Amino acid sequence: MGRADYLKLGDWNAICDTCGQKYKGTELKLQWNGFYACDTCFDFRQPQDFVRGVVDDQHTPYSRPDAPASFVPAVANLEPVPSGTN
């Protein structure tokens, strides 16, 4: 005999999916994850589940073309030394 073993017309015996105790079906509530739970085991859904990301605008406010190379070589035409000559 449990706490829900009594006659209540139009009601039925049910088991809490969280704690496993017997209750009447009208005493259980449907949670967000599909489980039926009693008042002591009932969990509200975490509010962080509903947070949406904010779009971050990452474009640059202005842009310029690349600057020309500022390095000027000291020797313009340098020919390679053939190998094998000392």
9-32 per-position pLDDT tens digit: 999 999 999 999 999 999 999 999
Q: Is residue 54 part of a domain?
A: no
Number of compact structural domains in the chain: 1
Q: Is residue 3 part of a domain?
A: yes
What secondary structure letter does DSSP report for 18?
T
Q: What is the pLDDT of residue 21?
A: 92
Q: Is residue 7 part of a domain?
A: yes
At residue 5, the 3 state secondary structure works out as: coil
What secondary structure letter does DSSP report for 61?
S
Longest dimension (CA), the chain: 113
- List, for residues 33-52, the tens digit of each pLDDT value: 999 999 999 999 999 999 99
Q: Which residue has the tokens 């105790």?
A: 21
pTM of the model: 0.57
**What are the residues whose beta carbons fall under 8 Å from the beta carbon of 2, sequence distance 6 or more?**
21, 22
Domain range enclosing 13: 1-45
Q: Is residue 77 part of a domain?
A: no
Q: What is the pLDDT of residue 57?
A: 86
* Helix, strand and coil in the chain, % to nearest 5: 10, 10, 80
Q: Is residue 65 part of a domain?
A: no
